[in-house]
Amino acid sequence: MISKRILAGAGLSLALLTACSTPAEEPTTGAAASADGYTIGVANFMLSGPYFSGMDKAIAAQAQKKGNIEIISTDANGDAAKLASNVEDLLTKNVDAVIISGGPLESAPAVLNSLKAAGKPVVLVDRKFPGEYTSWIGPDNEAIGRQNGEFLSKALPDGGKVAIIKGGPADNTIGSARTNGVKSVLSADSKFTLVEAPDFGGWGSDGGLTVMESLLAGNKDIKAVFCENDAMCLGAQRAIADAGLSDGIIIAGVDGQAEALKAILDDTNYKVTGLNDADIIGAKGLDRAVEILGGATVEKDTVVDSPMVTKDNAAQFQNPDGSF
């Protein structure tokens, strides 16, 4: 009786597993499958976030475009230890190279060491880890912040109070680089007062909304708000609208999330963002890995430009087919 149940359970699990695996994964027989092509492993620290899942999709899309490249993608669910074991698994499958999308992870020494020991090239996208890697492609977050600061400085000739909504400890160095960029411009100018929200927005729209509500309770005279990403700014925009202050407060974000681009294009109080495009960074990361495998000598660190997006140019960055 019990063994029947176990069998039934095992059968059900197998059926589930088969049902969930996508057809693309079926010919996964390791590197040997693509005779003259490459197998590239993608180690994602986390996929729960449009930016990160967009990055993963962009890498896969670029591989498809190039043809003859097999992608094995893994997700560590935000667990550094899982990331390390995922990379071990990729090495067991004998991938030719590994692309790491490190998300909010600050460093991954074990991962880089095992890749070095295996002698496989490592391409980091978005997040740069300290240690030995072959190549890194990502944005200059402080430059994005400075860009926003300069925009606000021009948009508010009379100065005033500028609120800053930070994302939180999970992504500290990327977020603080953005905030430092804004501050470096605005705090140099005495007509601006900076108000940093005490609570973190947690990188989500719901957090941005609550933090903005708290800020407005204490500071009615805010003239502009800068958030470390677009998702939080979109929430802040709702809070400002609910308070009936949309005419008096302008918004500056970072990332180029689709909803933010739309808000900018629609001429709302969302005025500017810095494009941190997962599609571009992911595609370039894949290209870089292929170049390395082809034996080319490549640049160690490549900064991808993050153009400032305003109403004038937002349309050209709207990409209906983009993953992000």
Stretch that binds other proteins, among 128-136, 197-205, 301-309, 311-319 (CB under 8 A): 197-205
Residues 6+ apart with CB under 8 A from 17: none
Stretch that binds other proteins, among 45-53, 152-160, 246-254, 313-321 (CB under 8 A): 45-53
| Identified binder of other proteins from the candidate list 95, 124, 209, 225, rule CB under 8 A | 209
Q: Using CA atoms, how far apart are residues 283 and 278, in angstroms rounded to an integer?
A: 8
Determine if residue 295 is left, alpha or beta; phi over 0 gives left, psi from -120 to 50 gives alpha, anything else beta: left
- Residue closer to other proteins by CB (options 255, 287) is 255
Residues 6+ apart with CB under 8 A from 198: none
Per-residue mark of binding to other proteins, 156-185 (x: CB under 8 A): ------------xx----------------
Q: How many residues in the shown chain lie near other proteins by CB under 8 A?
A: 35
| Identified binder of other proteins from the candidate list 132, 189, 206, 301, rule CB under 8 A | 206
Structure tokens at 47: 């996929």
- Tell me how far apart the 2 most distant CA atoms of the chain are, in Å: 80
| Identified binder of other proteins from the candidate list 21, 214, 313, 316, rule CB under 8 A | 214
Shortest distance, position 208 Cβ to other proteins, whole Å: 8
Burial class (CB in 10 A: 0-12, 13-18, 19+), 1: exposed
Contact 249, 240 (CB under 8 A): yes
Residues 249-288 that bind other proteins (CB under 8 A): 257-259, 262
Under rule CB under 8 A, residue 50 binds other proteins: yes
- Residue closer to other proteins by CB (options 39, 229) is 229
Stretch that binds other proteins, among 34-42, 86-94, 227-235, 304-312 (CB under 8 A): 227-235
CA angle 110, 116, 122 (to 5 degrees): 90
| Identified binder of other proteins from the candidate list 13, 48, 64, 92, rule CB under 8 A | 48
Which whole-number Å values give the CA distances from 261 to 99, 141, 307, in the listed order?
28, 19, 13
| Identified binder of other proteins from the candidate list 55, 115, 125, 216, rule CB under 8 A | 216
Residue 124: strand, helix, or coil: strand
Which whole-number Å values give the CA distances from 162 to 92, 107, 175, 240, 314, in the listed order?
51, 32, 17, 14, 23
Under rule CB under 8 A, residue 299 binds other proteins: no
Residues that bind other proteins (CB under 8 A): 47-50, 53-54, 168-169, 198-200, 204-206, 209-210, 213-214, 216-218, 220, 231, 234-235, 237-238, 241-243, 257-259, 262, 324
